[in-house]
Chains A and B, each alone.
Chain A
Amino acid sequence: MHRKAELAVPAAMAVRPRSSRMPAQLDVLQSATGVVLALFMWGHMFFVASILVSKDFMWAVTRMFEGYFFFGRSYPGVVSTLVGGILLLFVAHAALAMRKFPANYQQYRLFMSHRAAMRHEDTSLWVVQIATGFALFFLVSIHLYQMLMHPGDIGPYASSDRVWSGRWWPLYLVMLFCVELHGGIGLSRVAAKWGWFASATARQTRRRLKLLKWGVTAFLLALGLTTLAAYMKIGHEHAAQAGERYTPEQYRSVTP
């Protein structure tokens, strides 16, 4: 047996048990990726809606994104890079948001019966968000892969031909509803979650957020449907020459 004094016991350091900081960070990232994607979708909507102004305007917007006005020629790779970035964000957001999905049939059933009994708007809207989010996994993947691989196929005729002759419009139509519902509900939920845009009373905040949410959603849906209809019409009229690219009047003599 050793005596105590002979043992060289190394000094121990007290460790205070600490919960992981990960749940907080994942929660913030879920909201943040969602907000960035939603803002991107607003911008996206205005870019595609440029066709409602004129073909020339849409052509110019497209060229601008391809760097035409900066470099003097088009680099569709710029579009691919942007698409790649959005794809990464999208995957991150999907992975983060998936944690909130019902994990099994029992949870699903509990929530659905709860929703049916409660007849409560925000509870029901959550189901819409889950359903649209699930659909977007697939819809957005298809769309982004296409854009990543064919970034040059954007333009007054190129897009219209894709929509009509390429039979992409059914996908776009479903995606439009999913995106606008998911984004609208999501944004207002994020605002409530973090206490943004708080009015004098909580009730007032809720009422305002609700109005804003439905207002924005209705506007974007209307704009989106009109835009899609415009591409379908152009695509239909241009079906015989599908594949031909649009050139604005003033460039027609210069560019082949």
Chain B
Amino acid sequence: MIESPVALPAENQTPRRLRITVLRYNPAVPEQLPRLQTYELDEAVGMTLFIALGEIRETQDPSLQFDFVCRAGICGSCAMVINGRPGLACRTLTTQLPETIALAPLPGFALIGDLSVDTGKWMRAMSERVESWLHSHDVEVDLDRAEARMEPELAEAIYELDRCIECGCCVAACGTARMREDFVGAVAVNKLARFRLDPRDQRDDADYYEVIGDDDGIFGCMTLLACDDVCPKNLPLMTQLAYMRRKMAAVGWRGSDGANHS
């Protein structure tokens, strides 16, 4: 995890005065041009950006837009660009940042207003594109039958990749995604890696190739690894990207018949 470069403010110290500059724009009010607005407030002990923004909205500017739901790094809705890098506002302590903080909405997603973006729309389109759900040829599912057993290690491995909260940080951090908006992004590749592990997903590598086997998919990734560096859930994105790249390259050289779960 990120080491705090600044010492935690002790109770008896005079708190730092934070200057938070927000890139503001509301697409619904296009006559108001994008602008940088700076708010000042005193740093409190254990303050996160979520707390700071909440305080600003409550005491200074009720019109400031930003998203929060869980405040605990679980829902993925508070991702924004913090001093140039994407991150979760609710998981970012102000002590980790200098006194001047620049906030901007996550690029690459539809802007709702100020710091609020619609990652949901993008994520849904991505899910539909790579079909990130279990594909089973069994037409009928017997609901009375006990579920098939799974080795705990395998369940663990699947769960590890399933921890993605679809915050969009990896996409916003990816230079490839910025340049080429059709690039699937690490989040999609990670999802397919997750389904590839899952024996209940009956797709084979040739099927996965159909959805990510091109230059907008895994072969578009230029291994800049910013995704791996910013993912707030510390998902092993570098490993998964390399893994899927090897599998998809194998399909490309071998022909059509990809054996499943090899």
- Which A residues have a C-beta under 8 Å from some C-beta of B? 18-28, 99-100, 102, 107, 110-111, 114-120, 122-123, 126, 189, 192-195, 198, 202, 205-206
Contacts and interface: CB of A to CB of B under 8 A. Distances in A.
Contacts of B74: none
Contacts of A27: 219, 245, 249, 252
B252 A195 contact: no
A81 B225 CA distance: 39
B222 A100 contact: yes
For chain A, what secondary structure do more than half of its interface residues adopt (helix, strand, loop), or is it mixed?
helix
21 contacts: A21-B253, A23-B213, A23-B252, A25-B252, A28-B253, A111-B179, A114-B107, A114-B175, A115-B175, A122-B225, A122-B226, A122-B229, A192-B223, A192-B225, A193-B221, A194-B245, A194-B246, A195-B238, A195-B242, A202-B238, A202-B239
A198 B243 CA distance: 11
Contact of B173 (A26, A118, A202): A118
Most buried by B among A25, A100, A122: A122
A192 B228 CA distance: 11
B239 A195 contact: yes
B216 to A, nearest CB: 9
Given A189-B222, A195-B246, 4 more contacts: A21-B213, A23-B217, A123-B175, A202-B238
Interface extent on B, as a size class?
A: 35 or more
Contacts of A21: 213, 251-253, 255
B85 to A, nearest CB: 6
A169 B175 CA distance: 36
Contact of B209 (A19, A119, A194, A198): A19
B209 to A, nearest CB: 6
A99 B214 CA distance: 13
B256 A20 contact: no
Contacts of B180: 107
Given A110-B179, A114-B178, A123 B84 contact: no
Contacts of A115: 175
Nearest to A129: B222
A154 to B, nearest CB: 37
B215 A23 contact: yes
Contacts of B224: 120, 122-123, 126
Given A118-B173, A122-B225, A102 B179 contact: yes
Contacts of A194: 242, 245-246
A70 to B, nearest CB: 37
Interface of B: 81, 84-85, 107, 173, 175, 178-180, 206, 209-210, 213-215, 217, 219, 221-226, 228-229, 236, 238-239, 241-243, 245-246, 248-249, 251-253, 255-256
B229 A120 contact: yes
Contacts of B179: 102, 107, 110-111
Nearest to B238: A202
A23 B246 contact: no
A23 B175 contact: no
Contact of B249 (A28, A102, A116): A28
Contacts of B249: 24, 27-28
Contacts of A122: 223-226, 229
B178 A198 contact: no
B225 A26 contact: no
A27 B215 CA distance: 9
A189 B213 CA distance: 20
Given A24-B249, A110-B178, A19 B84 contact: no
Nearest to B179: A107
Nearest to A101: B179
Nearest to A100: B222
Counting chain A CB atoms within 10 Å of each CB, the highest count among B81, B214, B221 belongs to B214
Given A114-B175, A122-B226, A25 B239 contact: no
Contacts of B217: 23
A118 to B, nearest CB: 6
A123 B253 contact: no
B253 A25 contact: yes
Contact of B84 (A28, A117, A192, A198): A117
B180 to A, nearest CB: 7
B108 to A, nearest CB: 10
